[in-house]
Amino acid sequence: MDGNGLLRKICIRRPKIWIFGGGIVMLAVLFGLVSQQNRGREKKLMIAAAASLKPAMEELMEMYRKKHPNITLFCSYGSSGTLEQQIRQGAPIDLFISAAASNMDSLSREGLIIDRTRIDLLENKLVLIEPADSMTKLSGFEDLPKYGKIAIGDPDFVPAGKYAYEVCNSLGIWGELENKLIYGKDVTEVLTWVAFGNADAGMVYSTEVSLSVQVRVVAFAPEGSHSRIVYPAALVKGCKDEKAGTDFIGFLKSAEAGEVFVKYGFITVN
């Protein structure tokens, strides 16, 4: 091949190499844009929920993640009163699920929730429990003054503790119990104390009992002896992604989610 032929061959090849290389650059740019768009579509939702909801919420969040891989869900659990205070102090919470309407009402009065997103999600029951191997065998709430340590949630912060106070007050036994009471930070702690024999009896939600074989239900709180136990949910003012929050609330109200809540002993609110 002469010099002119070799030069023509190089000149012909050179554009092909440029086109191929340019294609790689274009693809890289395209993938970069798609990646940025995907990152832009990723959503985060920070949830604060009453401690009694934890087993059900963990299962429900896993279900939701599988259907919505672009959303990241975080959930903090605790007594409703403590979570309420965290919201007041500016904690980055998007969705609040309380175990009492009073906590939500208080936040609503101060304009700290988005009222139009508020729903009544669930109901629960209050029960008296004792260790499964207890030799005392309580027969009901009326027997409580005869026994030693009685565990309830702190009435100032824990809705279950407030309901326990209402029951004992309505039965006229609160005064006799005050020196026997030990206050837990939430219903989970109360359940643990009774399960391990650190308390002779306790008052928790009926949904808690299924979490331990070490306790038994003595009695359900008498009808009308306490306020209605309702779990409201609402987005917190300043929620970072209102649509994502509203969608998740919609999921919690779905029949599919309802089946999970019922499995854990909750009563769904239509």
Per-residue model confidence as pLDDT tens digits over 39-77 = 446 789 999 999 999 999 999 999 999 999 999 999 999
Per-residue model confidence as pLDDT tens digits over 238-249 = 999 999 999 999
Q: How far apart (Å, rounded) are the C-alpha atoms in residues 118 and 231?
A: 11
Residue 21 has pLDDT above 70, yes or no: no
User: What is the pLDDT averaged over residues 245-261?
Assistant: 97
Instruction: Report the top-level CATH class of 126-220.
Output: alpha beta
What is the predicted pLDDT for the residue at 14?
Answer: 44
pTM higher than 0.85, yes or no? Answer: no
Asked if 205 and 52 count as a contact pair (C-beta separation under 8 A), the reply is yes
Asked if 180 and 149 count as a contact pair (C-beta separation under 8 A), the reply is yes
What is the predicted pLDDT for the residue at 26?
Answer: 43
**DSSP label at residue 156:** T
Q: How far apart (Å, rounded) are the C-alpha atoms in residues 216 and 38?
A: 50
Among the ranges given (19-28, 81-90, 144-153, 245-254), the one the predictor scored with the smallest mean pLDDT: 19-28
Q: How far apart (Å, rounded) are the C-alpha atoms in residues 229 and 245?
A: 24
Domains in the chain: boundaries: 42-123+229-268, 126-220
Burial 38-47 (b: 16+ CB within 10 A, else e): eeeeebebbb
Q: How far apart (Å, rounded) are the C-alpha atoms in residues 221 and 241?
A: 40
Domain 42-123+229-268 has CATH 3.40.190.10: yes
Please check whether the two domains, 42-123+229-268 and 126-220, share a CATH topology: yes
| Helices and strands in the chain: count of H runs, count of E runs | 10, 11
Looking at the chain, how many residues does it have? 270
User: What is the pLDDT averaged over residues 117-138?
Assistant: 94
- In sequence order, the 6+-apart residues with CB closer than 8 A to the CB of 188 are 51, 52, 54, 208
User: What is the pLDDT averaged over residues 227-251?
Assistant: 97
Asked if 161 and 81 count as a contact pair (C-beta separation under 8 A), the reply is no
Query: Which residue's structure tokens are 């949630």?
Result: 153
- In sequence order, the 6+-apart residues with CB closer than 8 A to the CB of 147 are 136, 138, 180, 200, 201
User: Distance between alpha carbon 79 and the CA centroid of its chain, in Å?
Assistant: 11
